[in-house]
Amino acid sequence: MTQATKKETPLTLDVFTAGIWKENPVFVMMLGLCPVLAVTNSVLNSLAMGIASIFVLVCSNALVSALRNFIPKQVRITTYIIIIATFVTLVDYIIQAVSLDLYNKLGAFIQLIVVNCLILGRAEAYASKNSFTKSVVSALGMGLGFTLALVMLGGVRELLGAGQLLGYQVFSTQFEPWVVMILPPGGFIVLGSWLLLINYIQQRKTGQIIAADATAHCTVKP
Amino acid sequence: MNPESLSFIFLSAFLINNFVLAMFLGLCPFVGVSAKRDTAFNMSLATTFVMFVSSTCSYGINQILIAFDLEFLRLISYIALIASSVQLVEMVLKKFSPALFRALGIFLPLITTNCAILGVALFQTSREYDFLQSVSFSLGAGAGFGLAIVLMAGLREKLELSNLPNITQAAALSMMLAGILSLTFMGFAGLGGTNA
For chain B, the structural domain boundaries read: 6-185
Query: Residue A154 and residue A178: Cα distance in Å, rounded?
Result: 14
Q: Yes or no: say if B149 and B44 are a contact pair by the CB < 8 Å rule.
A: yes
Query: Residue A89 and residue A109: Cα distance in Å, rounded?
Result: 12
Query: Residue A201 and residue A209: Cα distance in Å, rounded?
Result: 14
Which of A147, A151, A188, A159 has its CA nearest to residue B21?
A188
Which of A56, A54, A40 has its CA nearest to residue A114?
A56
Q: How many CB atoms lie within 10 A of CB B160?
A: 11
β-strand partners of A169:
A164
pLDDT interval class at A62 (50, 70, 90): very high
Q: Yes or no: say if B10 and B141 are a contact pair by the CB < 8 Å rule.
A: no
- Assess B189–A contact: CB distance below 8 Å, yes or no: no
Flag whether pLDDT at A55 surpasses 90: yes
For chain A, the structural domain boundaries read: 14-202
pLDDT interval class at A175 (50, 70, 90): confident
How large a percentage of chain A has pLDDT more than 70? Answer: 89
Higher-scoring residue by pLDDT: A10, B25: B25
Residue A204's pLDDT is: 81
Residue A221's pLDDT is: 26
Residue A207's pLDDT is: 62
Q: Low-confidence residues of chain B, pLDDT below 50?
A: 194-196
Interfacial B residues in 121-180 facing A (CB < 8 Å)? 122-123, 126, 159-160, 162-164, 166-176, 178-180
CA A98, A100, A105: angle at the middle one, nearest 5? 120
Q: Is the dihedral of CA B95, B101, B105, B108 positive or negative?
A: negative
The per-residue pLDDT for range A131-143, each reduced to its tens digit, is 888 889 889 999 9
Query: Residue B55 and residue A98: Cα distance in Å, rounded?
Result: 31
Q: What is the mean predicted confidence (pLDDT) over A130-155?
A: 89
Q: Between A and B, how many residue pairs show a Cβ–Cβ distance under 8 A?
A: 135
DSSP A6: P
Residue A35, CB-side half-sphere exposure with 13 Å CA sphere:
34
CA B105, B108, B114: angle at the middle one, nearest 5? 135
Searching chain B, which residue's CA lies closest to the CA of residue A184?
Answer: B22
Q: How many CB atoms lie within 10 A of CB B165?
A: 14
Mean pLDDT of chain A: 79
Flag whether pLDDT at A120 surpasses 50: yes
B118 vs A contacts (CB less than 8 Å): 111-112, 114-115
Q: Do A188 and B160 touch (CB under 8 A)?
A: no
Residue B1's pLDDT is: 64
pLDDT interval class at A60 (50, 70, 90): very high
Residue B143's pLDDT is: 92
pLDDT interval class at A8 (50, 70, 90): low
Searching chain A, which residue's CA lies closest to the CA of residue B120?
Answer: A108
Cα distances (Å, whole numbers) of residue A30 to A119, A142, B31, B174: 13, 13, 9, 12
